């Protein structure tokens, strides 16, 4: 597993995440600083969830509801 440092676009907090999950491009990261969700900016978008997790069955990524604005 390789890790990647992703910065939250809202608060600037550093988030250390698996690079494979970042490469999917559609899985949002939950920020450790502000608890908001964001897509990784450096995503190549060239992998699938099944490929990254080495799964032999389809996987559905659960998407939480949008965070209310404050």
Better-predicted residue by pLDDT, 7 or 46? 7
> Which residues, 6+ apart, have CB-to-CB distance to 9 below 8 Å?
38, 41
> Cα separation of 26 and 59, whole Å?
13
pLDDT tens digits for 17-46?
988 888 888 888 899 999 999 988 878 788
pLDDT of residue 41: 82
The 8-class DSSP code of residue 64 comes to P
Q: Which residue has the tokens 């069955």?
A: 57
CA torsion sign for 16, 17, 20, 24 is negative
């Amino acid at each position: 597993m390789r890790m990647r440092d992703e910065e939250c676009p809202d608060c600037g907090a550093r988030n250390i995440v698996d690079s494979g999950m970042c490469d999917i491009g559609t899985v949002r990261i939950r920020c450790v600083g502000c608890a908001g969700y964001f897509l990784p900016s450096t995503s190549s978008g060239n992998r699938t969830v099944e490929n990254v997790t080495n799964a032999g069955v389809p996987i559905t990524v659960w998407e939480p509801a949008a965070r209310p604005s404050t």
